[in-house]
Amino acid sequence: MTTSASLFDEARRLIPGGVNSPVRAFRNVGGSPFFVSRAKGSHLWDVDGKEYIDYVGTWGPAILGHAPEVVVEAVREAALHGLSFGIPNPSEVELARLIVQWVPSVEKVRMVNSGTEATMSCVRLARGFTRREVIVKFEGCYHGHVDSLLVKAGSGALTHGHPDSAGVPGALAALTVTLPFNDLGAVEALFAREGTQIAGVILEPVPANAGLYFPRPGFLERLRELCTRHGALLVFDEVMTGFRLGKGGFQERCGVSPDLTAFGKVMGGGLPIGAFGGRAKIMDQLSPDGPVYQAGTLSGNPLAMAAGLAQLRELERTDGYARLEEIGRQMEDGMRDVLRTVALPLTFHRIGSMFCLYFTAGPVWNLADARKSDLEAFRRFFHGCLDDGIYFAPSQFEAGFLCLRHTKPDLERTLDVVTKNLRSTCR
């Protein structure tokens, strides 16, 4: 009988680490991953027949729940007309039109096949448009496996970076400065010193790859002012928050307009997808009109376009964002009630349908704060919940996701399991 254990044994012989993306290997929590056999709505089933309530949602895309009928039918119908063309097709124009309508800062948009491709293209375009080379990013923000963005902070706050991965040339990493998130002093000092060298500033406006924390009031607005004054581009990585926190993503909530935005995940309905967009004057620098090359065989793939259009239209048709806010509020109210009953240093963050429970007293405003979390306590909590059929992200430094199929019974069951496992964690 094929079990998760036997599959993982074989996977490790065939695939590095047994996984096609590192976080899936459970290295942050220990143990071995389960192998999923199917997913529907807010639930998953593994090959061993165990059922879970899922709060990872394939890292964001499953906002309607897994395998929503409206998306499955759209993909099935599209597939009957062809799986890939490499030729312009109407669905690319339809999705581009929807994105331009939903996100006011986007006048033109190009489709790609992953969030990494989207952010990588934003970096190259920022450098090509400004004819500058320095990129600024922030600790704790993850933008995919882009060489220029796999860069850790230099020795001093304002020093240029060093590679955060083998294989990234030091000379390239040195063109990236990594600053503490929410540290306006460091940003001001860097712009004062080398503002005319900066091609772009890229950030997750709501960092969700170190758990989930928020920009301090005024932080994004000041970044916008400094970029405008110095001719640098402000790039929002909304691969996670785009179409998750609302039709216009987080930029609609905060009222700060970036020059470029990277998208992914929700906009593809679960199929491989990414996109980047912004002011036409900048986007027109892209080949074939401009000198910045960017391309992709499967960019605008008809199945991904069909899935994304179906998902986004369903969110709009059913007032999905308002319903997600209600589900999020119910979870947050319940979680805060639970936290009042356990004697543990915990910090719960939520925005819309994204959340994180930090095992630290907080406050959490940046990566350094997040790293104060008790990872051993988190590991015990994660596995206790998993044993009880609740699947949270297998790392303290990831966000959780709610979907439109999380029911009241799901939330009640989840809060019972959370209570039980927090109490056993603090014993």
Residues 207-236 that bind ligand KE4 (CB under 6 A): 209
| Residue 305, amino acid | M
Dihedral sign, CA of 413, 415, 421, 427? negative
Instruction: Please identify, using beta-carbon distances, which residue of 237 and 252 lies nearer to ligand KE4.
Output: 237
Asked if 142 is part of the footprint of ligand KE4 (rule: CB under 6 A), the reply reads yes
| Residue 125, amino acid | L
Give the residue, chosen from 4, 42, 114, 396, that forms a contact with ligand KE4 under the rule CB under 6 A: 114
Asked if 398 is part of the footprint of ligand KE4 (rule: CB under 6 A), the reply reads yes
Per-residue binding string, ligand KE4, 143-182, x by CB under 6 A, is: xx--------------------------------------
Which residue spans within 290-365 are E strands per DSSP?
347-351, 354-358
Closest CA to 144 of 117, 111, 108: 117
- From the list 101-109, 112-120, 284-292, 375-383, the region that binds ligand KE4 by CB under 6 A is 112-120
Per-residue H/E/C for 247-299: CCHHHHHHCCCCCEEEEEHHHHCCCCCEEEEECHHHHCCECCCCCECCCCCCC
Q: Which two tokens stand for residue 246?
A: 């609302």
Instruction: Please identify, using beta-carbon distances, which residue of 18 and 144 lies nearer to ligand KE4.
Output: 144
Output the DSSP codes for 54-97. ESSGGGTT-TT-BS-HHHHHHHHHHHTT-S--SS--HHHHHHHH
Asked if 264 is part of the footprint of ligand KE4 (rule: CB under 6 A), the reply reads yes
Asked if 116 is part of the footprint of ligand KE4 (rule: CB under 6 A), the reply reads yes
Residue with the CB atom nearest ligand KE4 in the bound state:
115
Per-residue binding string, ligand KE4, 288-317, x by CB under 6 A, is: ------------------------------
CA dist 418 → 166, 326, 336, 341, 392 (Å): 38, 20, 11, 11, 11
Give the residue, chosen from 46, 54, 139, 204, that forms a contact with ligand KE4 under the rule CB under 6 A: 204
Closest CA to 74 of 308, 403, 318: 308
Shortest Å distance, C-beta 195 to ligand KE4: 25
Active-site residue list:
142, 237, 265
Instruction: Please identify, using beta-carbon distances, which residue of 21 and 297 lies nearer to ligand KE4.
Output: 21
Instruction: Please identify, using beta-carbon distances, which residue of 119 and 178 lies nearer to ligand KE4.
Output: 119
CB hemisphere CA count around 375 (13 angstroms): 14
Q: Are strands 274-278 and 108-112 parallel, antiparallel or unpaired?
A: antiparallel
Shortest Å distance, C-beta 115 to ligand KE4: 2
The residues of the shown chain that bind ligand KE4, judged by CB under 6 A, are 21, 23, 59, 114-116, 119, 142-144, 204, 209, 237, 239-240, 264, 398
